Amino acid sequence: MKSKLMLVLLSVLIMSLSMACLSSSLLPGSESGTDETTNAQTAQEQASSNVLLSEDFSNKGSGWDVYTEDLLSANYENDMYVITNDDPQSYAWGIANKFFTDTSITVDSQLLSGPMDVESGIICRMNGDNFYYALISIDGYYGIFKSTAEDFTMIQMENMPFNNAIKLGNETNKIRFDCIGSTLSLYVNDILLAEVNDTDYASGDIGMLVGTYDDAGAKFGFDNVVVSKP
């Protein structure tokens, strides 16, 4: 009887230890990789909450400028936002018709047709004729500018430098323009090209811009716009 009782007690003890181990394995964070998954989900949710605007231009009623006037036009075409500039030595642009303060703006830009001496870029903090813009040319040059009612001027840059990060011709470039506080930063294909400071404009609309030089006829397609807060 004593031996049988000891055997029963030993069986109960083993079963209790097994249940305890099983219960602990089901506790949150006890499995390998659970913390990493949770952290990744949290980071993704935080990134999503920071997005102020996401636009793939599949919806033609999303509110961006649509116009055709003289030699300039902006429209939705083939799930892109297309700006055409047939006027030499000029800018054409289209805006989102929204209001922002500090933002990081990214867009995919591609030359659809036109000469090799043309450029495209991003506008931030637009109020009428007053705004900032960053642009790249399809032959590899870049700059950050300020527009006023009187003129367009570069900010803390004497000329447009060349950089190999810019894809040439009709290849797609990912342009990013950060307008955060007084700091304006231009990235191309995830590489920081320029960072300048200006305190004149604090908020306003955002948009896309196409520039020409002596030869006109530039047609650019813009896609995958994301505006996020820092």
Q: How far is residue 187 from each of residues 65, 131, 142, 174, measured CA to CA in Å? A: 25, 18, 10, 8
Q: Which CATH class, in words, describes the domain spanning 55-228? A: mainly beta
d(C-alpha 217, C-alpha 225), whole Å? 24
Where exactly are the structural domains of the chain?
Answer: 2-48, 55-228
Element (DSSP H or E) covering residue 118: strand 118-127
- The predicted model gives 200-206 an average pLDDT of 98
What does the pLDDT read at residue 36? 56
What is the pLDDT averaged over residues 117-134? 97
For strand 51-55 and strand 218-228, is the pairing parallel, antiparallel, or unpaired?
A: antiparallel
* Secondary structure (3-state) at 100: strand
Out of 18-27, 120-129, 136-145, 148-157, least confident range: 18-27
pLDDT tens, position by position, 45-91: 555 689 999 999 999 999 999 999 999 999 999 999 999 999 999 99
Confidence (pLDDT) at 49: 80
Low-confidence winner among 37-46, 104-113, 134-143, 161-170 (lowest mean pLDDT): 37-46
Is pLDDT larger for residue 175 or for residue 3? 175
Give yes or no for residue 210 having a pLDDT over 50. yes
